[in-house]
Structure 1
Amino acid sequence: MKVLTAILIMTFSIFLLAGNITVVLDWYPNTNHTGIFVAKDLGFYTEEGLSVKVIQPSKLTSEQIVASGRAEFGVSYQEAVTLARGEGLPIVSICAIIQHNTSGFAWLKSEGIKSVKDWEGKKYGSWGSPIEKATIEYIMRKYGADPEKVIFVNVGQMDFFSGTLNDVFDFAWIYYGWDGVASRIKGIEIGYLSLKDLDPVFDYYTPVIITSERMIKEKPDIVRRFMRATYKGYMYAIDHPEEAARILLKYAPELDERIVIESQKYLSKEYKADSPKWGYQRKEVWERYAKWLHSMGFLKKMIDVEKAFTNEFLP
């Protein structure tokens, strides 16, 4: 057993010394990930002596894959990192891909919804998450609406437009950088309320890039080199959104070209936003949302947020 353990450790070390690393996405490739593909395509990783393989999660989540060492880096989001840390998974967020939460609730304009109060009596297209349900109930109570009057319809990953246009549900939680942009391209008028505007507690980091505590402890140089190249990738996407979009399309040709280009133009302004630099994370953002998760019973005890994220590896 000791010999096998030694061989595994040696293999892990040789693999990383050779600069071969794996990045696991949180979902299929999209404009949240553009900077990673830009860094790969334009040779920024190669310049740092890294050979990067990008994969998508299967049965396991990106958090589980990174924590287990099957990937050195991954794409996640603050909620998942916080809950994972609460369960003892040793993962750390090393940068925020987008500075502010660009998700919110949307509906067809024809629904006549003007405010949160108007959600009463409507069908909500849910993916079945307890935190999702708690978020909606919290917001409705805050704005004087009765959450018991919302009809939750579990639709899994059904597309927003398929669901609303076919009357499966009336409103849903969307990422404006994709579905909001797509609505303009499709010529479909929607109403929208941003989560961060509904309550500052929901202005958390989504998505983020994660690594493991082991990587930070044993291979900090790899983490630093990876982040240096990734930083260049996202800065390129900020400065050259259309060119960056076309690079993403090379790796994900199945995506709608018009949506990708317009989504990239939107997100390129959101990546850094009002932050002093791309990727920077603030303690108060992590603390604020962790306290909310704890108060709602999703965290058994408060985590040490200073161990959940770091800005150490930003250039």
Structure 2
Amino acid sequence: MRPKSLSPIFPARREFIGACAAGSLALAAAPAAVFLSAGGHAESPARINFQIGWLNSNNQTGEVCAKRMGFYEQEGVELNIVQGGPNIDGLSRVTAGRAEVGQLSSTPSLMVAVSQNVPLKCFAVGAQQHPFCFFSRKRAPVRSARDLLGKRIGVSPTSLILVRVFLAKNAIDLRDVTLMTTGSDMTPLVTGEVDVMAGWLTNTAALKILGADRVDLRLWDAGVRLYAHPYYATLQTIVDRPDLLARFVRATSRGWEFAFNNREKALDLLIAEFPHLNAEDERSALDVMLSYAFNGATKKGGWGIMDKDVWADQIELFARLGQFPKKVPRVDDLVTMDILNATRDIRPRIG
């Protein structure tokens, strides 16, 4: 099936308000199977509306496993996954208090929002390296950034900023490539309407059409160190309810650990939660997703860990691109390590 006609893309354009109390975080780090009120009565679970930035998918396999295996319940949490989509502004919903926790596909949106004084911070990341990639064919392979010179690159509008960052990092002028609007379908690459397609390695269903003829050039391998799937909350939630976020992280990390060790069962749970998904497509996608959820960094620091140096790299790149019209955020404006520190001994070390 032929895609819609292609057209050129033209490029568009609070200090941490207090440290969490040490006593609260120490309490948050303790296992919590039963929650009692001051009178000794069991309390109702704390509801967490979890706003994701996309339609329900395998990106939430860990959360689904944690939900269906009772890990959130053991933490006194009731998790409600709220799907997003193209017409839903998840950042605004979390900022307005309609959701306690949010997750974005990539870190740039959060960085730009914080630079405009939106009171949000990242407290964990789901993908240790960004799975964004440039795909080409063996007959005209793109194995390095310089191989993109003169090429027609298919890219979706929502991914344009990632391509621009890649080009800027590798000193390639926008005039030296042709950016074409596409979706996630790889057909334009197969038919020769573009020379390169940009997309996510986790989108294995779309990539099947390329088969063994596929050549990959990852963003991360070419020096663009971005995180994907950052978990974020408002500064007020981080300061006032660190225990809630710690309970969320404990349960979620156990869910991802379960998925890693029990892949077929995790797939069954995912399809039971989201029946619209195709089991065969999701089987290969889950393996890819798990390779980004766990690596050498998580083996050392545990699931969800972040490196402030990686955040500093991201800030420098986006400042160079002029993406911060109000102010250039500092790392500590964007990130809190308190929730990860409170759950240090719980989060699985796999890699």
What TM-score range do you get, normalising by the shorter chain?
Answer: 0.7 to 0.9
Structure 1 match to 2:219: 195
Structure 2 match to 1:273: 295
User: Does 2:113 align with 1:84?
Assistant: yes
Distance in 1 (CA, whole Å) between partners of 2:333 and 2:169 is: 29
Identity across matched positions, percent: 22
Deviation at 1:18?
A: 5.0
Amino acid of the structure 1 residue aligned with 2:236:
R
Distance in 2 (CA, whole Å) between partners of 1:304 and 1:17 is: 38
Distance in 2 (CA, whole Å) between partners of 1:250 and 1:174 is: 27
Pick closer, same or farther for the CA change 1:100–1:171 going to 2, 3 Å.
same
**8 Å contact from structure 1 (residues 136, 147) kept in 2:** no
**What count of residue pairs does the alignment treat as equivalent?**
292
Distance in 1 (CA, whole Å) between partners of 2:165 and 2:187 is: 24
Counterpart among 261, 272, 295 of residue 320 in structure 2: 295
Distance in 1 (CA, whole Å) between partners of 2:45 and 2:262 is: 31
Counterpart among 109, 112, 117 of residue 146 in structure 2: 117
Distance in 2 (CA, whole Å) between partners of 1:115 and 1:62 is: 35
Q: Unpaired runs of 5+ in structure 2? A: 1-42, 344-351
Structure 2 match to 1:6: none
Deviation at 1:112?
A: 4.1
What pairs up with 1:63-212 in 2 under 5 angstroms?
A: 63-76=91-104, 77-128=106-157, 131-139=161-169, 141=171, 147-155=174-182, 158-179=183-204, 183=207, 187-199=211-223, 202-212=224-234
Deviation at 1:188?
A: 4.9
User: Does 2:341 align with 1:312?
Assistant: no
**8 Å contact from structure 1 (residues 37, 251) kept in 2:** yes
**8 Å contact from structure 1 (residues 85, 91) kept in 2:** yes
Deviation at 1:177?
A: 2.5
Counterpart among 48, 60, 63 of residue 33 in structure 1: 60
Pick closer, same or farther for the CA change 1:308–1:25 going to 2, 3 Å.
same
**8 Å contact from structure 1 (residues 35, 236) kept in 2:** yes
**8 Å contact from structure 2 (residues 142, 217) kept in 1:** no
Deviation at 1:32?
A: 2.5
Q: Which of 22-31 and 290-299 deviates more?
A: 22-31
SS of residue in 1 equivalent to 2:113: helix
Distance in 1 (CA, whole Å) between partners of 2:163 and 2:211 is: 30
Distance in 2 (CA, whole Å) between partners of 1:164 and 1:139 is: 24
Distance in 2 (CA, whole Å) between partners of 1:185 and 1:19 is: 44
The two structures have a TM-score, normalised by structure 1, of 0.84
Deviation track 1:137-184 (CA, whole Å, cap 9, x = no partner) reads 325536xxx6423221122xx1232332344433222221324x7635
Distance in 1 (CA, whole Å) between partners of 2:117 and 2:264 is: 41
Deviation track 1:25-84 (CA, whole Å, cap 9, x = no partner) reads 111233322111111111111112222111112533222221111111111132111111
Distance in 1 (CA, whole Å) between partners of 2:239 and 2:278 is: 41
Structure 1 match to 2:30: none
Structure 2 match to 1:286: 311
SS of residue in 2 equivalent to 1:97: strand
Pick closer, same or farther for the CA change 1:255–1:163 going to 2, 3 Å.
farther
Q: Runs in 1 of length 4+ with deviation above 4 angstroms?
A: none
Pick closer, same or farther for the CA change 1:222–1:29 going to 2, 3 Å.
same
Amino acid of the structure 2 residue aligned with 1:306:
D
Pick closer, same or farther for the CA change 1:68–1:45 going to 2, 3 Å.
same
SS of residue in 1 equivalent to 2:62: helix
Amino acid of the structure 2 residue aligned with 1:231:
S
**8 Å contact from structure 1 (residues 96, 281) kept in 2:** yes
Deviation at 1:17?
A: 6.9
Amino acid of the structure 2 residue aligned with 1:310:
T
User: Does 2:241 align with 1:219?
Assistant: yes
Distance in 1 (CA, whole Å) between partners of 2:314 and 2:143 is: 27
